[in-house]
Amino acid sequence: MILVTGGAGFIGSNFILDWLAAEGSPVVNLDKLTYAGNLHNLAALQNDARHIFAHGDIGDGELVGRLLREHRPRAIVHFAAESHVDRSIHGPADFIRTNIDGTFRLLEEARAYWGGLPSAEREAFRFLHVSTDEVYGSLEPDDPPFSETTAYAPNSPYSASKAASDHLVRAYHHTYGLPVLTTNCSNNYGAFQFPEKLIPLIILNALNGKPLPVYGDGLNIRDWLYVGDHCTAIREVLQRGRCGETYNIGGWNEKTNLDVIHTVCAILDELQPAATGQPYAALIGYVKDRPGHDRRYAIDARKIERELGWKPQETFDSGIRKTVRWYLDNAAWIHNVTSGAYRDWVSKQYGAEPGAVS
């Protein structure tokens, strides 16, 4: 048994599906079901007794303590977070509450539970904290990629809150000996990603004939990691990672945002040409830049390869093709998530007209 937090979100749901297929041991999934949490992601597990869903907040110590005592997990895999940089700029409070305070409460309950375990179980227990490369700040074009020893320099309320949570996790190991592992990964993409993030937003806007909003000059660089590769990496770290260590996980796929958008458009042109006869790239439009927009992220993923033998299996070309196809094949899922709350966000972020570009 393991306890997963945030398992109804994008990466967490992919992880649970992957875990049950690969490892098979049961999962308790604690999720608050914020706008980003969607149990439809786990519809395939509807009649699967190995998935136990608990609706609640990681900050609710009483609930977390009860779940730990009842299910006696051998590990906690902590995904739950507020995860969208633009939302953190509009309203940082939820990021502080969940990412910092929530992680603190979870750590406290984990410490109490772990401290009371018999020695063999205590020895085997792990707390795996899922974090981001954004804690390292922004790279110049010629800088080497982020390694595990790069100094923290978070620039957004989101990355600052994740950095704070990483420090708490580190301190719980150093001070109390809690057997923690931290992973810092690059931008994920794949099935079940909420369409506020770049790749699904571009796919959905293109299919709806809406403008494709490029922030600034579109030359910001991200290192894209296919979510399936990320899930495999987390399993490896959980199984064989050294306690107290951090592992950077990346795709070795540095791309400018314009490259990504043009690639998505070209695949859509091939798989589902627009009724207008125009290439989808004709919808590209430049909008006001994100305040404090980090220029470049890139991950040096050699440590996890060296120590645990993990490296990504997907190239960007293979992963993005699978991803576009998944969105084309899952119209019902898209219909379900593009509800009123999502439309409100789009008009707040991009202007009164959903999808309008300035």
Return the number of the residue (232 or 257) whose C-beta is nearest ligand TYD: 257
* Residue 37 contact, options ligand TYD, ligand NAD, none, Cβ 5-8 Å cut-off depending on partner type: ligand NAD
Local structure of residue 217 (DSSP, 8 states): T
- Whether the CB-CB separation of 114 and 179 falls below 8 Å is answered with yes
Nearer to ligand TYD, 85 or 130 (CB): 85
Q: Which is nearer to ligand NAD, 27 or 357 (CB)?
A: 27
- Of 133, 229, 236, 254, catalytic: 133
Instruction: Let me know: does 341 contact 35? Beta carbons within 8 Å.
Output: yes
Smallest distance from the beta carbon of 133 to ligand TYD, in angstroms? 9
Name the helix (H) or strand (E) containing 284.
Answer: strand 284-287
Answer with the entry of ligand NAD, ligand TYD, none that 57 interacts with (C-beta below 5 to 8 A by kind): ligand NAD
Residues 190-249 that bind ligand NAD (CB under 6 A): 194
Residue 85's binding partner out of ligand TYD, ligand NAD, none, with CB under 5 to 8 Å set by partner kind:
ligand TYD
Check binding of 168 to ligand NAD (CB under 6 A): no
Helix or strand (DSSP H, E) at 5: strand 2-5
Single out the catalytic residue among 113, 136, 158, 297.
158
Tell me the β-bridge partners of 181. 128
What, of ligand NAD, ligand TYD, none, does residue 201 touch, CB below 5 to 8 Å by kind?
ligand TYD
Please tell me whether residue 81 binds ligand NAD under the rule CB under 6 A.
Answer: yes
Between 253 and 282, how does the x/- string for binding to ligand NAD read (CB under 6 A)?
Answer: ------------------------------
* Residue 136: burial class (beta carbons within 10 Å; 0-12, 13-18, 19+): buried
Tell me, yes or no, if 158 is annotated catalytic.
yes
> Residue 354 binds what, of ligand NAD, ligand TYD, none (CB under 5 to 8 Å, by partner type)?
none
| Burial of 70 (C-beta count, 10 Å sphere; 0-12/13-18/19+) | exposed
Task: Quote the CA–CA distance of 202 and 185 in Å, as a whole number.
Answer: 22
Three-class SS state of 220: coil
Structure tokens at 72: 């006696």
Beta bridge partners of 78: 5, 129
- Continuous segment of H or E residues that includes residue 28: strand 27-31
SS3 80: coil
Choice among 134, 196, 229, 254 that is catalytic: 134
Does the annotation mark 134 as catalytic? Answer: yes
- Which residues sit at the interface with ligand NAD, rule CB under 6 A? 5-6, 8-12, 30-34, 36-37, 57-59, 79-83, 98, 102, 130, 132, 162, 185, 187-188, 194
**Active-site residue set:** 133-134, 158
